[in-house]
């Protein structure tokens, strides 16, 4: 009798563990909750280089003096989404309306 009760308890524990594991697997419907996802839309790593118009200018290592340099510092439009479901759809389109977005200074902290 004692062996039967022990066996029943073990079966109940195993069954509850299996059910909990299935529930955890079905709750992970979003990629940001999936622990196996390490990157999305990431380009392959590559070497960094900068083009100068002359060897003399390249030896100075002052990239901002080159005609190929473009600073990204300045005022940028910024949209903060509290979670991915609130992201701005179609923001990559040239004609997307960003008039309601905040302005931030780059570089800076938001």
3-state DSSP assignment of residue 56: helix
Is the pLDDT score of 35 beyond 90? no
DSSP letter assigned to residue 99: T
Question: Would you tell me how many other CB atoms lie within 10 Å of the CB of residue 63?
Answer: 14
> Which pTM was predicted?
0.48
d(CA 59, CA 88): 43
Q: What pLDDT score does 46 carry?
A: 85
pLDDT at 41: 85
What is residue 91's DSSP assignment? T
Rounded-to-integer distance, Cα 92 and Cα 89, Å: 8
Average pLDDT over residues 37-45: 87
Neighbours of 52 (CB within 10 A): 18
């Amino acid at each position: 009798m004692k062996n039967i009760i022990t066996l029943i308890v073990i079966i109940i524990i195993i069954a509850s563990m299996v059910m909990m594991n299935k529930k955890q697997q079905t709750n992970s419907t979003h990629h940001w909750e999936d622990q196996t996802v390490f990157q999305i839309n990431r380009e392959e790593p590559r070497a960094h280089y900068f083009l100068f118009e002359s060897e003399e200018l390249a030896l100075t290592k002052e990239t901002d003096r080159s005609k190929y340099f473009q600073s990204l510092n300045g005022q940028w439009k910024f949209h903060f989404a509290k979670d991915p479901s609130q992201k701005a759809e179609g923001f990559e389109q040239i004609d997307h309306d960003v008039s309601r977005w905040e302005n931030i200074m780059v570089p800076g902290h938001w």
